[in-house]
Amino acid sequence: MVLAQRPLTLEQFVQLPEEEPALEYIDGRVTRKLSPKGPHGRLQGRIYLRFELFGLEHHLACAFPETRVTIAGASVVPDVIVYRWERVPSDERGDIPEDFSEPPDIAVEIASAGQTRKELVDRCRWYVEHGVQVALLVLPRIRSVRVFRAGAELGPLTGSDHIDLGDVLPGFELILDELFGALRARAD
In a domain, 115, yes or no: yes
Containing H/E element for 40? Answer: helix 38-57
**DSSP 3-state assignment of 85?**
helix
Containing H/E element for 129? Answer: helix 117-129
In a domain, 68, yes or no: yes
Identify the pLDDT of residue 7. 79
In a domain, 2, yes or no: no
The answer to whether the CB of 149 falls within 8 A of the CB of 128 is: yes
In a domain, 139, yes or no: yes
Identify the pLDDT of residue 3. 55
Identify the pLDDT of residue 141. 94
Ramachandran assignment for 151, one of left (phi > 0), alpha (psi -120 to 50 degrees), beta (any other):
left
Identify the pLDDT of residue 6. 61
What is the tally of structural domains in the chain?
Answer: 1
**DSSP 3-state assignment of 127?**
helix
Beta strands in 6-143, from DSSP E residues, in sequence order = 23-26, 29-32, 61-65, 69-71, 74-76, 80-84, 106-110, 134-139
In a domain, 9, yes or no: no
In a domain, 173, yes or no: yes
Return averaged pLDDT per consecutive 10 residues of the chain, 188 residues in all: 65 87 88 87 96 97 97 97 97 95 98 91 97 98 97 95 96 95 80
What's the CATH code of the domain at 48?
Answer: 3.90.1570.10
In a domain, 19, yes or no: no
Identify the pLDDT of residue 17. 87
In a domain, 175, yes or no: yes
Identify the pLDDT of residue 41. 94
The residue segments making up the domain with residue 47 are 37-183
